[in-house]
Chains A and B, each alone.
Chain A
Amino acid sequence: MNSVHDMGGMHGMGPIKYEKNEPVFHARWEGRVLALTSAMGPWRLPGSSRFEQEQIPAAEYLRMSYYERWFTVLVERMVKGGLVTRQEIKSGKRAGGSPKAVPRLTAAQVRATPASAGRTDRPVVTPLFRVGQAVRARNMHPPGHTRLPRYTRGRLGTIDRDHGVSRPPDTSAQGLGAKPQHIYSVRFAARELWGEQAAPRDAVYVDLWDDYLEPA
């Protein structure tokens, strides 16, 4: 989806504001949002949080802080998943007669488990490309979720490394299942991306799946 989240190469976003000794959370609510999001994970909320974020209206997306976006999509996904209603969100109270569930994430589990891991099954799939091969990022503009940034589309690169098999989120973000395929680190010369003004020796490496690439 070509929305504002895809901001690689954009100008005018302002200076990088470095905060010395920045706290992990700037307010208590931020930490609660992170925790709530994790705790709701085992409920398998519909959609993907990334794709939901990308659909936040552009002006809002840019205005919101990071955890405000997390909070926004958490609410959307819970409502879409039928776990809460908008009225309940508004009132902050369980609706009369609605069932009480049992939490799926316990404190013990949190302490025992490392940070969330993805699926660990790795089916065997033949790679379409080999290391060193010249490739072109496809000029595709899917209206749904994708991890192919606009700034790479149509650009020439080289396969730097094969990361093995995983699933691109383009179809799974919409609940359509995912096709396991190889993901590669692809090297793009800076000048290829940004024109003659860029440094001649520099490069940008982007991790891209088979489906995003074509032979050059």
Chain B
Amino acid sequence: MKATRRGFLTAAGAAAAAQDHVHAQGHDHDHQAVPSDLTLRVKSLESLLVEKGLVDRAALDALVDRYEHAVGPRNGARVVARAWVDAGYKKRLLASAAAAMEELGFASQTGENLVAIENGPKVHNLVVCTLCSCYPWAVLGLPPVWYKSAPYRSRAVIDPRGVLREFGLELPEDAEVRVWDSTAELRYLVLPERPPGAEKLSEEALAALVTRDAMIGVAKVTLPQAGGRP
């Protein structure tokens, strides 16, 4: 199988293991079992639409390039790092992410429908879209396959602690987990907690620590020296 799995698949909670039927392995690999003619059918549709003048091929290329290289989690990481070092900015971010994004030089309207939600020692936020795959593209780019797939979509709302456990995150009993199901056009960015021991780092160095997973809410930000996952 192409996908590499983190240890949590073998360390998966009993409940999760009980749900996996013995011959389920491989059926959930969204991106593997592609009908052999799909590549051709897509090529065929693209050339048809170009031929009809409905789309511009250079525009298609530009759009792919934008999401492969320009728009991605580095955007969100900048926002998070700024919020960590600047309390006033954090306040403004939590009140209106759109304005806060503009402050950092993002094109106006980039944070249009974005809502930043703050993690704390007693509150942990987790984002999902159970109905499809809504995701804060502007700050995180396109979502990973696992976020868009049935296992996460189905379980995040009913067993968030089990899901977090599989990602290696164990939360204290007295913490509150808030799961945000992106049912409308609002998009959610988790503002993770600043890791302890990061006080002396520059804003740039802090941004480099912030992962996509932490901004979805399935991970915390850790310092590499502490043995955390990058």
Chain A residues within 8 Å of chain B by Cβ, number: 12
CA of A60 to CA of B21 in the docked complex: distance in angstroms? 11
Q: Is A143 a contact partner of B27 (Cβ separation < 8 A)?
A: no
Q: Is B19 a contact partner of A55 (Cβ separation < 8 A)?
A: yes
- A12: shortest Cβ distance to chain B, in Å? 14
- Which B residues are closer than 8 A to A by beta carbons? 15, 18-19, 21-24, 27-28, 150, 154, 158
- A58: shortest Cβ distance to chain B, in Å? 7
Where chain B touches its partner, the secondary structure class is helix
Residue in B19, B22, B150 whose CB lies within 8 Å of A143: B19
Nearest residue (CB) in A for B14 is A143
Mask for A136-154, Cβ within 8 A of B = 1, else 0? 0000010110000000000
- Which A residues are closer than 8 A to B by beta carbons? 1-2, 55-60, 76, 141, 143-144
Q: Which residues of B contact A55 (CB under 8 A)?
A: 19, 21
CA of A144 to CA of B14 in the docked complex: distance in angstroms? 12
Q: Is B18 a contact partner of A144 (Cβ separation < 8 A)?
A: yes
**If the complex has contacts A141-B158, A143-B15, are A56 and B21 also in contact, measured as CB distance less than 8 A?**
yes
CA of A2 to CA of B151 in the docked complex: distance in angstroms? 12
**If the complex has contacts A58-B150, A141-B158, A143-B15, are A76 and B22 also in contact, measured as CB distance less than 8 A?**
yes
Q: Is B158 a contact partner of A57 (Cβ separation < 8 A)?
A: no
CA of A143 to CA of B158 in the docked complex: distance in angstroms? 11
Q: Which residues of B contact A56 (CB under 8 A)?
A: 21
Q: Which residues of B contact A60 (CB under 8 A)?
A: 27
Q: Which residues of A contact B27 (CB under 8 A)?
A: 57, 59-60
Q: Is B28 a contact partner of A57 (Cβ separation < 8 A)?
A: yes
Q: Which residues of A contact B18 (CB under 8 A)?
A: 143-144
CA of A103 to CA of B22 in the docked complex: distance in angstroms? 28
CA of A2 to CA of B15 in the docked complex: distance in angstroms? 13
